[in-house]
Amino acid sequence: MKNMKTLFLKALLLSQALLVSLMTVADTEDYSSDAQWWSPGEERVFPQYSEYKNTSGRLGIINLNGPINTAEHPFFQALGSNGRGCVSCHQPSDAMSITPETALQRWKETNGKDPLFAAFDGSDCPTLDQSKPSSHSLLLKKGLFRIGMPWPPMPFNGKPVAPEFTIEVIRDPTGCNTDPVWGLNSEKPTVSVYRRPRPVINVDHLLEMPHGVPPYNKFFFNDSSLLPKDPETGNFVSQQLMADGRGLTPKLQALDAAQTHLELMAGLSKEQLQQIEAFERQLFAAQSFDAVAGDLTGDTTPPGLGPDALVKAPRGRLGNNPLNKIFGDFSMWENAVNQQEFKASVARGANIFKERRFYIKDVGAYNDKGLGNPFKRSCGAGCHNTLVMGMDLSPGFMDLGLNNWPWQTTRSDLPLFKITCHANAKPQSYLGRVIMTHDPGRALITGKCIDVGGTMTQQMRGLAARAPYFAGGAAANLRELVDFYDRRFNINYTEQEKIDLVNFMRTL
C-alpha cells in the first residue's frame, strides 16, 4: 500500500511539473493555430529550422537543404481539382501527418469548407451530407482518411491480382462499402478502409535498404530478394513508405496521392516528382524540447534524441547490438533526482524498451518466419530495431492483431469484413481461412490469405506531435499504445514501467 501511495505521489508531481512547464512554454512562445496551419497555394517560406508546440513540448524540423518558397513548390501547391496540396494532409505541426485536433480546429475555422474535408476521402463516404461534421467523423475523431482500394486488388503495374479469398461486408457504419456507387458491389468494386496518413519525416531513413555493420552484415537475416523493385531504377525498395507497402518510391507514392487524395486528373511532371522527393528526403524531425526535461538537443541530452541526431546517424543500421543502441545511451539521465526525476523515468523507459523481454506470440509474418512461437524478445531487439528510428528493417509487414479478431473486437466505428480464404490458399498462420477484420491491410495489395491484417511497422520519431497511433488510430495516446502491447503479449508491466515507457516515447 505504501509503494502504491509513493507511486501515486510521484505521478502527481510529474503531472504538476508538466503543467507548469507547458504554461511557461505557452507564455513565452507564440505558436498560434493560424501560424501553424499551412494552406496550399500560400506564399510562405518553409524555413531551414522550425519548431511547433505540442502537448509534451515542441517538435523540431530540420529542412536540411535550406529554406523553400512554398508558392513555387509542388508539395505546397493546390494541384488537384479539390483544392488540396500534399501539405493539406501532411502538416508540419503534426510531424508532417495530421491529428484529429488539427482537423477539428480547421473545421471550426472554415465551417468545414477547407479542402482537407474533400468528399472523396476526407469524409466517411462521398455520398453523405458533406455539411455535417458527423459525415467526417473518422477524420475529426481519429484522423483517418478513407482509402478506396480496388477489388480485385490492382498493384502499380495495373494488372489485377486474382485474390485467394472472398470478402464480405458484415458491418458498414460509414455506409460506403455497401454504397451502390462507391461500394464493393458497385460498377467499380471498391473496398473502403480508413487509415492515418503516415508522417513525411525522416524519409531518407525509410528509403535506405537494410544492411548491417561488419561483421554483423554477414549474418543479416533480412533478405532483400523478398522485396519488389523500383520500376524506374530496377533497384530493390524498402516498402517502408506506406502501411500496406503500396507506393514503392516517393515518386510513385506522390503520383498515387495526387491522383486520389488531390483528385488530379493528369499526372505530375517529372520535375514535380523530383521536387517532391527531394523535399521529403531533406526533412528530419523529432521532439526537440520537452516541457519537463527541457532541451532535447544539447550536450547533456542522450545522443539519439532531437532532430539533429537523425541527420547525423547512418541509415539502415540495426540498433539492437553492442555496437549500436537504437536511440543512444541514456545513462547520463539514470541518476537524475528531485525535479529531474522525469529524466530518470525517461532513462528507465529507454532501458525497458531495449532490455525488457517478453513472449511474442501468434504474430502473422513474424512468429511464422522460423523465429519460434512464442519468441522471447524486447521491443527494441524485436520489431523496433532500427538505429534512431525504432522501426523494423525491411521486409517488416506483420499482423499484430490491430485489425483482426480476436485481438481487435471493439471498433464499432470501422467497417467489419469477413475474409474467406480458398481451400487451396496458404492460410493466415494463426487465424486460419476465415478471418474477421476491420482492414485486410497488405492483403488488399497482394490478394494473399497469409497477408490479411499485415501492416508495415512505423517509425517512432515525433510521436508526441501525431497521436493517435497505429494505422487505424486504435491508440488515442501513448498510454493506450503501451496498454495495447501489455494486453496483447501479456507482458504485465507495472504502473511505474508504463509511466516510464510513455515518458521515454514522448521525447523521441
Q: Measure the CA–CA gap between 178 and 56, rounded to whole angstroms.
A: 41
3-state secondary structure 145-163: EEEEEECCCCCCCCCCCCC
pLDDT attached to residue 192: 98
* pLDDT for the residue numbered 298: 87
Please state the φ and ψ torsions of residue 448, each to the nearest 5 degrees. Answer: -95, 140
Please check whether residue 407 lies inside any domain of the structure.
Answer: no
Mean pLDDT of the 184-188 span? 96
Neighbours of 123 (CB within 10 A): 25
48 within some domain: yes
Residue 353: all three cell numbers together = 524498451
Quote the pLDDT of residue 227. 79
Cell of 268: 505530375
pLDDT in tens, 420-468: 999 999 999 999 999 999 999 999 999 999 999 999 999 999 999 999 9
Q: All 3 cell numbers of residue 388?
A: 534512431
DSSP state of 367: I
Q: Nearest Cα to 62, choosing from 241, 161, 203?
A: 203
How many percent of the chain have pLDDT more than 90? 74
Q: Which helix (H) or strand (E) holds 485?
A: helix 478-488
Distance CA 29, CA 46 (A): 19
End-to-end Cα distance, the chain: 33
User: Among the ranges 118-132, 196-210, 247-261, which has the highest mean pLDDT value?
Assistant: 118-132
Each residue's pLDDT tens digit, 483-503 = 999 999 999 999 999 999 999
- The residues with which 428 forms a beta bridge, in sequence order, are 432
- Is residue 440 in a domain? no
Segment 230-243, tens digit of pLDDT: 888 988 888 889 99
CA 10/CA 57 separation, integer angstroms? 20
Per-residue pLDDT, 214: 44
Query: Where do we find the cell 511532371?
Result: 269
Q: Has residue 119 been placed in a domain? A: no
The mean pLDDT value of the chain amounts to 89
On whether residue 187 sits in a domain, the answer given is no
Q: Report if residue 149 sits inside a domain.
A: no
State which residues form the domain around 22: 2-99+196-402+454-506
Radius of gyration of the chain (CA): 22
Amino acid 323: pLDDT: 77
In angstroms, rounded to a whole number, what is the distance separating the alpha carbons of residues 166 and 163? Answer: 7
Q: How far apart are CA 447 and CA 464, in angstroms?
A: 35
**Tell me, what's the pLDDT at 371?**
82
Strand segments, DSSP code E, in 172-265 are 190-195
Q: Look at the alpha carbons of 481, 142, 245, 438 in this order and tell me if their dihedral is positive or negative.
A: positive
CB 72 within 8 A of CB 42: no
One-letter identity of residue 133: P
Q: Which amino acid is at 347?
A: A
- 328-350: pLDDT as tens digits: 999 999 987 665 899 999 999 99
CA distances from 438 to 168, 396, 405, 407 (A): 11, 20, 9, 11
346 falls within a domain: yes
Q: pLDDT digits over 275-301, tens only?
A: 999 999 999 999 999 999 999 998 889
Yes or no: say if 449 and 165 are a contact pair by the CB < 8 Å rule: yes
To 5 degrees, how large is the angle CA 189–CA 142–CA 240? 70
What's the total number of domains in the chain? Answer: 1
| Section 187-203 average pLDDT | 97
Residue 8 has pLDDT above 50, yes or no: no
Q: How confident is the model at residue 223 (pLDDT cuts 50, 70, 90)?
A: low
Please tell me the distance from the alpha carbon of residue 75 to that of residue 98, in angstroms, as a whole number.
Answer: 15
Cell 507511486 found at? 7
What SS3 state is found at 289?
strand
What gap in Å lies between CA 40 and CA 79, rounded to an integer? Answer: 9
C-alpha cell at 150: 480496388
Task: Give the pLDDT score at 238.
Answer: 86
Q: 53 - beta bridge partners?
A: 58
Give, for 284, the enclosing helix (H) or strand (E).
strand 283-290
Whether residue 419 lies inside any domain: the answer is: no
Question: 413, 473, 457, 409: which is closest to 437 by C-alpha?
Answer: 409
